[in-house]
Amino acid sequence: MAEKLLTYMTEPELKAHLNNQLQFIRECQTEDTIGSMLVIFGKDGICQYGATIDPETAPQALRELADRIESRTTVKR
């Protein structure tokens, strides 16, 4: 568990925090995964994110996900 709240983290601390979580996610990825994105929704309404996916690819992938969420075509897991 993080020792400090996201709200109080400096940019270097936030980067280290996200990279630590992304490292775990990377280790769990299957061969056919091109990357992952971690989105953290803060209580203050601000999102923080980190990604292993190419930043050029992320907006399209997020739009596709938002469309599925809005149309309620997601699969509950």
Give the Å distances, CA to CA, from 75 to 22, 50, 63, 64, 69.
23, 24, 17, 14, 10
DSSP output for 27-69: HH--TT----EEEEE-TTS-EEEEESS-TTTHHHHHHHHHHHH
Q: Containing domain of residue 58, as a range?
A: 6-71
Residue 39 inside a domain? The answer is yes
Question: Which pLDDT value is given to residue 19?
Answer: 93
CA proximity to 37, closest of 13, 58, 20, 56 = 58
pLDDT in tens, the chain (77 residues): 567 898 899 999 999 999 999 999 999 999 998 889 999 998 888 889 888 888 788 889 889 989 998 998 877 77
Q: Is the pTM of this model over 0.85?
A: no
CA 6 vs. chain centroid, Å, equals 14
Residue 76 inside a domain? The answer is no
How many structural domains does the chain have? 1
Residue 21: how many CB atoms within 10 A of its CB? 14
